Amino acid sequence: MGELMEQDINGLVSRQHSYFAEGETRSLSFRIGQLRRLKEAVQGYESRIMEAVRRDFNKSEYESYLSEYSSVLMEINLMLRHLAKWSKPARVRTPMTHLGSRSYIYAEPYGVTLIIAPWNYPFQLALAPLIGAVAAGNCAVIKPSELAPHTSQTIADMIAEYFPDTYIAVVQGDAEASTALLKERFDYIFYTGSTHVGRLVMQAAADHLTPVTLELGGKSPCIVHHDARLDVAAMRIVWGKFFNAGQTCVAPDYLYVHRSVKDDLVNKLIRAIEEMHGERISIGEFTHIVNDRHFERLETYLEDGKIIYGGGRHKDSRLFEPTLLGEVKWEDRVMREEIFGPILPILEYDSLEEAMRQVNSKSKPLALYLFTESQAVQDRVLREIPFGGGCMNDVIYHLVNPHLPFGGVGESGMGAYHGRASFDLFSHKKSVLKQTTRFDFKFRYPHYKNALKLLKKFYR
């Protein structure tokens, strides 16, 4: 079985390399046409996408439309509006030492790309990088997550109906399929998932010196300073943390709140949870945890600290209530691992210096959120804490702005995409100098009399 899979994958990748070599994918008209076709495919499959995500997660139509569907259409539309401009060779300045020449940067596709998508937003996180790959003129192989089988099958059916596999193909399967794919020579690899698997992807890419983008995770802090508008902060934190049952790479992983406002904020968080979610968990409308293993992992985190609110769960349906966890210590397991679920640990600080020192003692987070009315505090945090991206007085919303590059730093990832950044990511920037032949400076050649003297004078 494994050998057959490797043979099938090897043949698929070889066919894509051959097709790319024909050059058809490079033309602007072709790329625009394929983006339009991709948009047609997504719109034609809207109901099936919604149903597949519901079957995999019990996700509401509201959450599915917002997080899986609309953002993909927004990315395609943005790319269609600007691709002609972004694809033009960019002329850049040329120094006087190169008199007579002009300098350009050409964007060209890498070739055959591999996109490995995660399970938490199984449609959006497979299609969003594909949009960049298509816009730049690449071929693509997509590996959806087997943990969202209905969405994976829907993606496979949609792509097979609208595109030849020599151009875009879907390979389904578990870790064995991913391992077989990573043995092949791709020209670019885009991976979204855990830091642990990200290291394995990077190691495999090294065998072929294949460039990679890694969209990973980590513990993203949400800092609430003493001058924050707590009513607004509570609503936005609850919305962002418990969206998709907390199974979001940029969800606030822990709440770090100034001691003087902690009790007030906790009360407002509880009211916000009840206002936003009420008793939905009892009638099964809250998004499910993806599988039993992750459900059981989340249960172990409740052994740390003290449950302030929530904690209820139904194992058979994998429903897990929005939960606030207090009396947590930094050395607890819930504070050492990425939670990826509807549990929000709450810690206190007494000074901004203490909060910044503690955050900076950890790995660089994928996201950081700060609630404060002080511009000086915002400026200081932005200046002194490294992180992938984030929001001031909000959470998650930076992720859905296609004009903001999205990506991590350090253990939270490398490379960034969305909008223009996606086109740039999947394009090699080829530098070209076009020189005149109308004249030729002889002193550039070593045999010319006084060449060194003239060169020194010129460069001064």
With respect to residue 26, please indicate whether it lies within any of the assigned structural domains: yes
Instruction: Tell me the per-residue pLDDT of 222-235, one tens digit each, with 9 for 90 and over.
Output: 999 999 999 999 99
User: Active-site residue numbers?
Assistant: 215, 249
Q: Is the pLDDT of residue 283 over 60?
A: no
Label residue 435 left, alpha or beta by phi (over 0 means left) and psi (-120 to 50 means alpha): beta
Sign of CA dihedral 117, 118, 124, 125: negative
- Closest to 56 in 3D by CA, of 125, 146, 171: 146
One domain for residues 201 and 168: yes
Report how far apart, in Å, the C-alpha atoms of 214 and of each of 107, 182, 239, 316, 394 are.
21, 14, 26, 34, 25
Instruction: Say what the pLDDT of residue 284 is.
Output: 62
Q: What is the mean pLDDT of residues 252-261?
A: 98
pLDDT tens digits, residue range 30-83? 999 999 999 999 999 999 999 999 999 998 888 999 999 999 999 999 999 999
Asked if the structure places residue 106 within a domain, the reply is yes
Give percent of the chain with pLDDT exceeding 70: 97
Of the candidate ranges 22-26, 59-63, 287-291, 407-411, the one whose mean pLDDT is the lowest:
59-63
**What distance lies between CA 265 and its chain's CA centroid?**
30
**Residue 384 and residue 305 in one domain:** yes
Confidence of residue 444 (pLDDT cuts 50, 70, 90): confident
Q: Are residues 197 and 158 in the same domain?
A: yes
* 89: pLDDT strictly greater than 80: yes
Mean pLDDT, residues 424-447 = 90
**Domains in the chain: how many in total?**
2
pLDDT value, residue 3: 54
Predicted local confidence at residue 347, as pLDDT: 97
Burial class (CB in 10 A: 0-12, 13-18, 19+), 332: middle
Query: Is residue 154's pLDDT more than 60?
Result: yes
Non-local (6+) Cβ contacts of 263 within 8 A are: none
Residue 437 lies in a domain: no
- Structural domain of 251: 221-407
Pair (196, 267) in one structural domain: no
User: Is 388 in contact with 418 (CB distance < 8 Å)?
Assistant: no
Per-residue pLDDT, averaged over 442-457, amounts to 74
Give the per-residue pLDDT at 281: 67
**Which pLDDT value is given to residue 280?**
60
**Same-domain check for residues 425 and 380:** no
Helix 28-44 / helix 124-136 crossing angle, nearest 10 deg = 160
Per-residue pLDDT at 446: 77
CA separation for the pair 242, 251 (Å, rounded): 8
The domain that holds 333 is classified in CATH as: 3.40.309.10
Residues 362 and 288 in one domain: yes
- Residue with the bigger pLDDT between 1 and 408: it is 408
Q: Residues 166-225: pLDDT tens digits?
A: 999 999 999 999 999 999 999 999 999 999 999 999 999 999 999 999 999 889 999 999
Query: Given pLDDT bands bounded at 50, 70 and 90, which one contains residue 1?
Result: very low
Across the range 330-354, mean pLDDT stands at 96
* Same structural domain, 205 and 225: no
Question: How far is the C-alpha of 308 from the C-alpha of 263, rounded, in Å?
Answer: 11
| Interval 373-386: pLDDT, tens | 999 999 999 999 99
In a domain, 238, yes or no: yes
Q: Are residues 211 and 113 in the same domain?
A: yes
Q: What is the CATH number of the domain that holds 177?
A: 3.40.605.10
Q: Tell me whether residue 185 is in a domain.
A: yes
